[in-house]
Amino acid sequence: MKLAFSTLGVPGLPLSDVLRLATTHGYHGVELRTHPEEPVHPGLDAARRAEVAAEFKGSGVELLGLAGYTRVAAPGGDEPVLAELRALLDLARDLGAPYVRVFPGGDPDAQTPDEADATAARRLGTAAEYANDLGVRILLETHDSHRTAADAMRVLGLVGHRQVGALWDVMHTWLGGEQPSESYAALSPHLGYVQVKDIASADDTTPLPLGEGVLPLAECVEILSRNGWDGWLCWEYEKRWYEKATPLPDLLGPGREHLSRLLNESA
């Protein structure tokens, strides 16, 4: 498996510094948070997009994916959501990213679960053809209204398109009461990559160094290894939302060592 980290842990950091951190600490790739407050986002012009692609190529670090914020199950009209998603897919194509992340974003106060599932599936099915033409895969993250693998599979089962898959956020499936074996069994046919992290408890999701919290990371890695899965583990350290959390650069070396140890133990 290859190791990456998300720029959610280093909000606003220039791309050159992100790539330096990745190479210094032995990470194979980076997931870019694509938001207007970040250096890379869909508003970039063609020249800057070419520069970003060249920076990655020159660094030897892979661009794992773009972590967007499109909410595919959200109430309202389809076209604004699809336009946002197409812009994210265009950016991924221009930068050479194989994946884009989307959220479910259903609203239980405005929709039934069936309505949210149908809305997400309809939009993802429409966007899948556009993604296919660009060579980019859309990944629905286990998050918010669809935090478990079982929740996500209700949508993915309706879509049934190879360009739409799953991003397994191990925190959310755990918070949703799923065992890692259940999450993997459901998501494995659709799995793009896996987001790992660690937290203090179900009631305190402040990010912690990997291995110092309660999430079943060793079990997740063991299940992935036992089943021959050879994709990406991406450390999503949510520093952006927790200002008092330890800065991620101080943790990147020990974090890579912890993940490497888990991989060796499960081999």
Per residue in 195-238, pLDDT (tens digit) is 999 999 999 999 999 999 999 999 999 999 999 999 999 999 99
pTM value > 0.95? yes
Q: What is the pLDDT of residue 61?
A: 98
How far is Cα 112 from Cα 120, in angstroms, rounded to an integer?
12
- Count: domains in the chain: 1
Range 22-28 average pLDDT: 98
Each residue of 160-177: pLDDT tens digit?
A: 999 999 999 999 999 999
Question: If you compute the radius of gyration of the chain from its CA atoms, what whole number of angstroms results?
Answer: 17
Residue 266 has pLDDT above 90, yes or no: no
Nearest CA among 146, 132, 228 for reference residue 188:
228
Range 117-135 average pLDDT: 98
Backbone angles phi, psi at 192, to 5 degrees: -90, -65
Q: What is the pLDDT of residue 60?
A: 97
Mean pLDDT, the chain, whole residue set: 97
Residue 256 has pLDDT above 80, yes or no: yes
Q: What is the pLDDT of residue 267?
A: 76
- Percentage of the chain with pLDDT > 70? 100
Q: What is the pLDDT of residue 172?
A: 98
Nearest CA among 43, 25, 27 for reference residue 35:
43
Residue 145 has pLDDT above 80, yes or no: yes
User: Residue 116 — pLDDT band, cuts 50, 70, 90?
Assistant: very high
Each residue of 44-102: pLDDT tens digit?
A: 999 999 999 999 999 999 999 999 999 999 999 999 999 999 999 999 999 999 999 99
Which CATH number belongs to the domain containing residue 233 in this structure?
A: 3.20.20.150
**Containing domain of residue 128, as a range?**
2-266
Q: What is the pLDDT of residue 117?
A: 98
DSSP 20-50: HHHHHHT-SEEEEE--TTSSS-TT--HHHHH
In the block, which residue shows the tokens 């809305």? 119
How far is Cα 5 from Cα 239, in angstroms, rounded to an integer?
12
Range 117-143 average pLDDT: 98
Q: What is the pLDDT of residue 228?
A: 95
Q: CB within 8 A of 88, min separation 6: which ones?
A: 34, 42, 66, 68, 70, 100, 102
Q: What is the pLDDT of residue 92?
A: 98
Q: What is the pLDDT of residue 204?
A: 96
